[in-house]
Structure 1
Amino acid sequence: MSLPPGFLDELRSRLSLAQVVGRKVTWDARRSIPGKGDMWAPCPFHQEKTASFHVDDRKGFYYCFGCHAKGDAIRFVQETENLGFMEAIELLAGEAGLPMPERDPRAQETTDRRSRLIEVTEEAVRFFRLQLKTSAAGAARAYLSGTRGLSPEAIERWQLGFAPADWHGLWQHLTAKGIAPDLILAAGLARPSDKGREPYDIFRNRIMFPIRDARGRAIGFGGRAMDPADRAKYMNSPETEIFDKGNNLFNLGPAREATGRKGTPLVVAEGYMDAIALVEAGFGGAVANLGTAITPAQLQLLWRTHPEPVIALDGDEAGRRAAMRVIDTALPLVQAGQSLRFCLLPGGLDPDELIRSRGPDAMQTALDTAVSMIALLWERETEGKVLDSPERRAAFDKELRAVIRGIADPGIRAHYADEIGRLRAGLFGAAGGDRGDRPFRPWDAKGKGKGRGRDWGSKRSDRSAVPTAGTRASLLASSDDGAATVLREAVILVTLTQIPALLEEFGHALEEMSFVGAGHAALASALLRCDADATAERIESQIRDSLGPEVLERLLKGRHVSLAPSVRHPGDVDLARMCLTEEIAKLAAESGTRREIEEAVAGFAETPEEWIDHRLSLSARAREQVSRNHDGDRADFDIAENGARIDRDERSDLDALLSLIGLGTPKKT
């Protein structure tokens, strides 16, 4: 089968090589820089312990410095899946949502036609640029240089042009060049006349902005009307075989190159002139959507270029509505390290106006203060709402859960639930009455012990309130708020500080942990920045310099920490490895148990007790496996009505939770 070159280019542009390779390797967290698409891992093609396999996600190529394997996404799938060339393409095309070209002997003819359409569009670019220099374009030149402040060099750099008011100027120019009429029509440059006359130009009396694909090829135009009475101030080329405005961005190619430089943000503006003004002011990573709301395909293009683009919008009401539409589009698609920030400009100005009136520094300040998606989302969900009754607060919670449910990635969904729970607690606490202290984790959010033991909905605000009989023996009522978890974290951190050689082996587990103990997250972050080849003394010195001398001393004060085998024998690597493996497994099992309890409680009103018992029994098995000590001791278990074995601590936690939220306690045997 003959594939058009344009198809392979489109396939590669839609794929992330890091995602394709990531299914087969484990990335080295210390060497990889996801924001730059610079990823390292042990090579999947030969046995090695060090990360010599390099992926350049932006260029779409990989190379192993050990075995010298190299290629792109297609080659990688061929080698790892043992597939032929066409089989690999079909597999990747299916993942990218790109239909395979029909098995037609005329495929090459189709490719040639696309190339000819691009050539026709390039000829139109040259025509419009020449027209901008004529006397008929005097008002257009004055607008660009006077109103918009563009220099002659900038106008040339952006290849701006002018479409004369003549109805047939471009048509006659192109046909005189010998270009076939059907190609002019197919390129979206003219329309057939319904009066039996020759086709007429689509763009007339407009400043012309060439639109190019990521490879720099002219595929369409945007036109700005010079007549205030024109029904459309801005107009794009119609959809054609080479132009799809929902799958392209203005200035994407140069912006990709610019954002490859450290510290250059990817800024998304609403209009061509905004993007041009940003680039001319020094913000080289500026793009613009093409007259429509940002589409999912455009978001994927943005994330392929930068992990956290900044959406720059006018600060007026229309700009805020546009920001909310972007959030609704982006939430189902966000992933770890892949999000958006929003820059709502002051005074209702757009980027071009802000730069011309207040200078590039004002634009930089606005970008530096861009807000996260969740901050803007929370503002939308709370704006104008009066939450002065339990019914209104319940309706508010329902709306929040509906928003979070739309997030596809479970990890992101968990963190959004945590953050909304914190914001909700602050809102209700400020308003009085319902403090909102109950953790807002309706599905699979990982528990961090936030708000345990409190009476949700009561007027008590003192954490030291006397627990009820049902909660006295439960960890939920513990004053140390998960002391066992804190101590396990401390053992892990101290062990890795004393034996840095294990940082490479356990670094990924450290990255994925959600720390409860005060200062533990900061210490883990400091450890991940350390070199595994450094001595323990060197690492301790670095930690003391960055976090203060009291951090490690505070950890070692815990008796459980100082008596841990890995801490008492700091030179025994094998013992430390066993200790780390055990403590990490216990933390994971405890986290899973809490999650099962919270999910069971969230769905208790409509869930049979037998199903809850079954869920808890599954989690109890995991805890049983990691809770055995060297003497063969096990956790104590109850027997539920359906015969399921449930850890008594879990049953106590569940009873307390059900009591606290007023659902009652399931009957026990």
Structure 2
Amino acid sequence: MSLSPQWLDELRARISLSGVIGRTVRVQKAGREFKACCPFHNEKTPSFTINDEKGFYHCFGCGAHGDVIRWMTDHQGLPFMDAVKELAVEAGMEVPAPDPRMAQRAEQQKSLHDVMAAAQDFFVRSLHEERGADARRYLASRGFPERIVRDFGFGFAPDSRTALKEALSAFPDAMLIEAGLRIVVDGRDPYDRFRGRLMLPILDPRGRVIAFGGRILSAEKTDAPKYLNSPDTPLFDKGRTVYNLHRAAPAARNAGRIVVVEGYMDVVALAAAGITEAVAPLGTALTERQIERLWRVVECPTLCFDGDAAGQRAAMRAITRALPLLRPGQSLRIVTLPGGMDPDDVVKRDGPQAMEALLGEARSLIDVLWAAERDALPLTTPEDKAGLKARLMAHCDTIQHPDIKALYRRDLNERFGELAFARKERAPFQPRQGGGPAPRGKGQPWKPAPPPLPAEQANRLQQRVGTRDRLIAAVIAGLVEQPDLIAAHAESLARLHPAEADMAATLDALLVLADSPGPSGAALESEHIRTILQERRLRTPTATDFGEIRFGFLAKREGSAGELADAIALLVELPEVESALEEANRRYQAELTPETEAEKERLRERRLALFARLGQMGRVRASL
């Protein structure tokens, strides 16, 4: 259907925006405008303004902005055309007629809505009749108060193949079949789909019944599924529908979270415990379309999964579906419930506060992804570890957003490096009781710990550290001038840790940019990088940081790629050798053997050689 801008403008002009918003939000007159506490985020001081003359609302706290149609789609959760139709009725306007096929489909859906509403009335009546006694006992055993039973529309489907058909005799059988309420198999007589089940209606964003879910009540029917949902129909798409979203969305915006559980009975149990922002998929793993709908409500939905193997598989399915969709600020958080427990079990055993505590400990998507892949298979051989890295990078490759992909790759690479290349911990040195000398190792005499460094030597060491910081600044400046070298040295650069926070932030930004395409997919250029750094308020190192005479040659556009590579290699190796030397000294103190002494001396000499290279670097160029 095509709606002209003129028609939409007329619709907006006929509707009082403050009146529409005032139906669900308390608004106050403030001069020519209205103000309210923003319904899109928690606040105590009103920062949400409504301007009827201009026809828009705006929140100065969270940035929410839109007109009356946007309000109906974002706050009320209606699809665009449903919002337009509802407003058109209020404005006394006729929506331009669609083509005949669309009109026929709309009329068909309207008739099916009538069928579903009649079926819901029948199920609710049956629950409160004598034949619904077992269903009422089950609800009582779950501890659901009458308010919850009424609000969620619980009903009962009698254990009969024709009870629903007889109650809805005003509708033709073909319509009941199309609505998913009856089944026809191989040309035999149709029969009711839901029999002997506790019934729950599934509603669309406008609160209309579009499908049903039923839980079997008889323990003797072992051949029947415990839960049964309506099939896909012209009204119901199970891969797109999120159970209870129409009720949970306002509560979720107030709470700043939406909780996704595995089934609709979990949703009801949490609502009974006071957690009203819970929703559930319908018989399938969370789909991409459902994730997108959840992101329209909050930026980071919280998913709850059982702690068993099946729950972990479900979590990974959700993660793999979410990764390609990730956008800045939009992700998932994941809660792992205690083994064998669902949300209702947690609430019943430990109370609502226990569930709140679990929700408060929700982990980020990347944390769960890392833990799941790390623990999926043994990591006893180099091949095992290489397999872990390959799986992690394969997940990263599915992420579409370039910045998020680059950040995931770097984060997971760092975690993998810490796991795969971690130094083995050794027992700390324990002196003999009584204060005597440590036991000799393999006939070697005891040696005391080395004395503190003399002041002059300590000053030289401090100067070397300062020289290293200046060299890092020169390398960063050189990478800005020669951005094609960033990707070539990305793994080494990721192991650098500049002492100054602003240099570290600039280096991080360069690594992210190197893994992102430039404008129109072209390679990044120096000027483009400078512009991005300036926009992000990050600093490019200058001669003041690295010393023009000493290291300025590295920061020039025509600088040697080989010299820049040498500088990076030196900066990476030096802290690693220093760390290894500290470990060697500890081993030497704990076990005085020729081997430990030789290792200590080898590393000490290597460190001296690296410091000598650091001291010499640039002097020849500076003297030219």
Q: TM-score, normalised by structure 1?
A: 0.57
**Aligned partners of 2:266 and 2:344 also within 8 Å:** yes
Which residue in the other structure is 1:124 paired with? 119
CA 1:319–1:403 in 2, change beyond 3 Å: closer, same or farther?
A: same
**Aligned partners of 1:593 and 1:620 also within 8 Å:** no
Which residue in the other structure is 1:610 paired with? none
Q: Distance in 1 between matches of 2:500 and 2:568?
A: 28
Q: Distance in 2 between matches of 1:476 and 1:615?
A: 34
Q: 1:302 aligns with which of 281, 294, 299?
A: 294
Q: What code does the residue aligned with 2:215 have?
A: R
Q: 1:153 aligns with which of 141, 147, 163?
A: 147
Deviations 1:404-445 (A, max 9, x none): 111111222222223223322332354649xxxxxxxxxxxx
* DSSP-derived class of the 1:648 partner: coil
Which residue in the other structure is 2:346 paired with? 354
User: 2:224 aligned with 1:231, yes or no?
Assistant: yes
Q: What code does the residue aligned with 2:564 have?
A: D
**Aligned partners of 1:331 and 1:406 also within 8 Å:** yes
* DSSP-derived class of the 2:296 partner: helix
Q: What code does the residue aligned with 1:138 have?
A: A
RMSD over aligned CA atoms reads 4.9
Shift of 1:597: 7.4
**Aligned partners of 2:406 and 2:515 also within 8 Å:** no
Shift of 1:162: 0.6
**Aligned partners of 1:145 and 1:152 also within 8 Å:** no
**Aligned partners of 1:165 and 1:204 also within 8 Å:** yes
**Aligned partners of 2:41 and 2:253 also within 8 Å:** no
Which residue in the other structure is 2:66 paired with? 62
Q: Distance in 2 between matches of 1:305 and 1:298?
A: 11
Q: 1:411 aligns with which of 403, 408, 411?
A: 403
* DSSP-derived class of the 1:54 partner: strand
Shift of 1:165: 0.7
**Aligned partners of 1:58 and 1:304 also within 8 Å:** no
Shift of 1:593: 6.0
Q: What code does the residue aligned with 1:190 have?
A: R
Q: How many residues align?
A: 443
* DSSP-derived class of the 1:348 partner: coil
CA 1:591–1:654 in 2, change beyond 3 Å: closer, same or farther?
A: farther
Q: Distance in 2 between matches of 1:370 and 1:621?
A: 38
Q: What code does the residue aligned with 1:413 have?
A: K
Which residue in the other structure is 2:248 paired with? 255
Which residue in the other structure is 1:654 paired with? 565
Q: Distance in 1 between matches of 2:39 and 2:126?
A: 47
User: 2:155 aligned with 1:165, yes or no?
Assistant: no
Q: 1:396 aligns with which of 360, 367, 388?
A: 388
Deviations 1:53-100 (A, max 9, x none): 72799999615xxxxxx764999xxxxxxxxx99xx9xxxxxxxxxxx
User: 2:183 aligned with 1:179, yes or no?
Assistant: no
Alignment of 1:172-211 (within 5 A): 172-175=166-169, 178-192=170-184, 194=186, 196-197=188-189, 199-211=190-202
User: 2:124 aligned with 1:134, yes or no?
Assistant: no
CA 1:388–1:200 in 2, change beyond 3 Å: closer, same or farther?
A: closer
User: 2:321 aligned with 1:321, yes or no?
Assistant: no
**Aligned partners of 2:403 and 2:512 also within 8 Å:** no
Q: What code does the residue aligned with 2:418 have?
A: G
Which structure has the higher relative contact order (CA within 8 Å, separation 6+)? 2
Which residue in the other structure is 1:245 paired with? 238
Q: What code does the residue aligned with 1:236 have?
A: N
* DSSP-derived class of the 1:342 partner: strand
CA 1:136–1:477 in 2, change beyond 3 Å: closer, same or farther?
A: farther
CA 1:390–1:598 in 2, change beyond 3 Å: closer, same or farther?
A: farther
Q: Distance in 2 between matches of 1:587 and 1:139?
A: 64
**Aligned partners of 1:597 and 1:654 also within 8 Å:** no
Shift of 1:305: 1.0
Q: 2:365 aligns with which of 370, 373, 378?
A: 373
User: 2:103 aligned with 1:108, yes or no?
Assistant: yes
**Aligned partners of 2:469 and 2:498 also within 8 Å:** no
Q: Distance in 2 between matches of 1:430 and 1:398?
A: 19
Shift of 1:484: 7.1
* DSSP-derived class of the 2:239 partner: helix
CA 1:621–1:486 in 2, change beyond 3 Å: closer, same or farther?
A: closer
* DSSP-derived class of the 1:246 partner: coil
CA 1:35–1:424 in 2, change beyond 3 Å: closer, same or farther?
A: farther
**Aligned partners of 2:97 and 2:103 also within 8 Å:** no
CA 1:258–1:615 in 2, change beyond 3 Å: closer, same or farther?
A: closer
Shift of 1:394: 3.4
Q: Distance in 2 between matches of 1:119 and 1:277?
A: 29
**Aligned partners of 2:406 and 2:512 also within 8 Å:** no
Alignment of 1:77-96 (within 5 A): none
Q: Distance in 1 between matches of 2:155 and 2:423?
A: 58
Q: Distance in 1 between matches of 2:40 and 2:207?
A: 26
For structure 1, which runs of at least 5 residues remain unmatched after alignment?
A: 9-30, 47-51, 64-69, 76-84, 90-100, 434-474, 488-514, 522-582, 601-613, 639-644, 662-669
Shift of 1:299: 0.3
**Aligned partners of 2:57 and 2:65 also within 8 Å:** no
Alignment of 1:271-282 (within 5 A): 271-282=263-274
CA 1:377–1:595 in 2, change beyond 3 Å: closer, same or farther?
A: closer
Shift of 1:325: 0.9
Shift of 1:137: 2.0
**Aligned partners of 2:180 and 2:233 also within 8 Å:** yes
Shift of 1:478: 2.8
User: 2:415 aligned with 1:423, yes or no?
Assistant: yes
Shift of 1:391: 4.3
Q: Distance in 1 between matches of 2:214 and 2:362?
A: 30
* DSSP-derived class of the 1:108 partner: helix
Q: What code does the residue aligned with 1:257 have?
A: P
Deviations 1:309-351 (A, max 9, x none): 1111222221111111111111111111111111111132000
* DSSP-derived class of the 1:245 partner: coil
Q: Distance in 2 between matches of 1:142 and 1:57?
A: 48
Q: What code does the residue aligned with 1:248 have?
A: T
Q: Distance in 2 between matches of 1:485 and 1:32?
A: 48
Shift of 1:112: 1.8
Q: What code does the residue aligned with 1:377 have?
A: L
Q: Distance in 2 between matches of 1:106 and 1:57?
A: 45
CA 1:409–1:622 in 2, change beyond 3 Å: closer, same or farther?
A: closer
Shift of 1:232: 0.9
* DSSP-derived class of the 2:303 partner: strand
**Aligned partners of 1:207 and 1:225 also within 8 Å:** yes
Deviations 1:151-195 (A, max 9, x none): 2232112110110011000011111xx223332221111123546
Q: Distance in 2 between matches of 1:431 and 1:516?
A: 19
Q: Distance in 2 between matches of 1:476 and 1:652?
A: 20
Q: What code does the residue aligned with 1:411 have?
A: D
CA 1:33–1:212 in 2, change beyond 3 Å: closer, same or farther?
A: closer
**Aligned partners of 1:188 and 1:238 also within 8 Å:** yes
Larger Rg: 2
* DSSP-derived class of the 1:149 partner: coil
Q: Distance in 2 between matches of 1:358 and 1:35?
A: 30
Shift of 1:145: 0.7
User: 2:209 aligned with 1:218, yes or no?
Assistant: yes
Q: What code does the residue aligned with 1:166 have?
A: S
Q: Distance in 2 between matches of 1:39 and 1:652?
A: 56
Q: What code does the residue aligned with 1:201 have?
A: D
